[in-house]
Structure 1
């Protein structure tokens, strides 16, 4: 019962936020038409020397700011709309020819302009529906209490809701409650419809997607090379400062034992005991180093078993659901495991969550991982919470990460990795275990 009430409360909260988003859509839609008028006037003045070079890029930057705001609002509803613009020239200066050319030759600029008018109509229309329907229900819900408070001289909210007796007012209460609940339920759906409509104009075209993909691959390749170099330096440093130092010390002790074996057997035995302790410590350090490269539990139990083992040791209740008929290649499996580990670490450190879940599924050649929590939300990849590192780790295998984390929660992180599952296999344990 308590769980049902909590779920109803969360749905009502999401509906209320969607109503506020609808109200914001109405306000933002009003700004589209002035932007469109100013853009048309400025483009008409583009042939004027110097004036067009200065005004056109400045005006288009305002249009891009408005379009990027709509892309972010659409992404918050779960409809991902990536930024499609060409990268700015390195030496483009305000008022210069390069900046003007960069602006007007980008197809995304004209798609932004084409969206302003229909985007205003659709955003305003859907926003008004999402706001007025719950308000109408709220008016009916409060009709009887207000009538009792104001007295019999008050006849309701004009022609919208009218009342002439307490019986009529009480009959309006359940009607208003149903309309209010329906409006709160429909409001998120209306926001998604508005987001999908914006995506038709503001998402990159097929050509732009290919260009962005090439750029992304170039960047991720460089990031992967840098990350691998940093990881190799870390392993080299750990080996040099830890295991190697202990092995050198062990070699020196064995040399001393060889010298004392005939002259001082008791001293030699003490040195052998020290050598045994030193070799044990070196083995422990080497095991820790190997776990950081590829955890033995991952090799033994696979991704699902390793994630379950990881979740058991956390102070927060984590439900793990696994639907993997096979195992990915070892590099993909390792990347997915460390991505989940980093995500759960962020959950413990930053979310203040009481429970969470991890879902692992494979379908249509995609390994999909969904990590959720009931924490405070507000996660931001730019805040340094490790999400950027997860993105880079997944990008090395052509994977993606999407984040939904409104300020009041819940946080939902969806990771997707293209891969083919192999038949279940058993990997022998490490000889050091």
Structure 2
């Protein structure tokens, strides 16, 4: 029994037990840990040694700039420290997806699409607005000053209302309009109040789908150049956060959660040939500004900190579809990094994880991953997703097969909820292959 327990602990802590996966087995963790005394005890009891802990911007600075909720800061610091002192590895989520109400009133905070609509999902402009970026930078510096960041495994950064990279998605204007591009505020269009280091649009006033601009014909090349500016703006925003953390004294890894598979090369060709009028948009990735083929190399070449891509589609609905094909297309293969951008490769049938993992490998970036969580939780799962129990069962094989450095199970509270039907032992059994 002692030998079995030692093996389980080694697997979950990401050490190298004598198994077939000894050279590359991921570390196994959980998302959104409370790091309470009971959480720590429960995780240690089964050998879970890696946790993600979320900070909340709106709880840290709830009323105004510079006025901290000292009770919240002290509590968060104590919980993170308790996890670390107990021997757990910790990745911190900055929680910039939870902006205080006063931030929403800053100049340029409201995202605006090409129709003049704003996002109805709570997303704010952390990409182009200088005022929002300044407030965000102040918050990030406070995190570095108040928390034991030198002991962390990583800090997560993002731009979206989900804490991932990306602009709002399809129909997030709430008007029924399915393809918004969120770069039509005065900052991005005119340079008024534009965040430092951010280039303004290469075609001020041009609306995607429009055939002319300033009296000249818009070519597919010009439309492509506009889209590259749009999607790279997200990377410059991520770089800004990483630079702020580094300047404040944090020298560790920056984790960048990346949803879906993003725009495929063939999609972008079809889309820009149609001048971004909506053609070629499989899943809303164009409006979200997700083009990992280009973005991951941009991150690798421009961010001074160590970048770890967090692939949030482990066993998502696309995995369910891809593994039903003949042959199955859900599992990462050794040559994916080189074949994924070849025109003859049917990457549209690959799972999100497989394609996005290939782009991280192409860029030379380490990758971790997480499952979407319960289908009804609105955290990435859909009616076509596996159940949470099935995600727990299948995710370890996907994480191993895609050579992920770590896997975070979504979520810790699912394992604490008797009604979920899954607990920590089920997770351990899935990892060790005893389920």
TM-score, with length taken from structure 1: 0.23
The structure, 1 or 2, with the larger RCO (C-alpha pairs under 8 Å, 6+ apart) is 2
TM-score, with structure 2 as normaliser: 0.23
Greater share of helix: 1
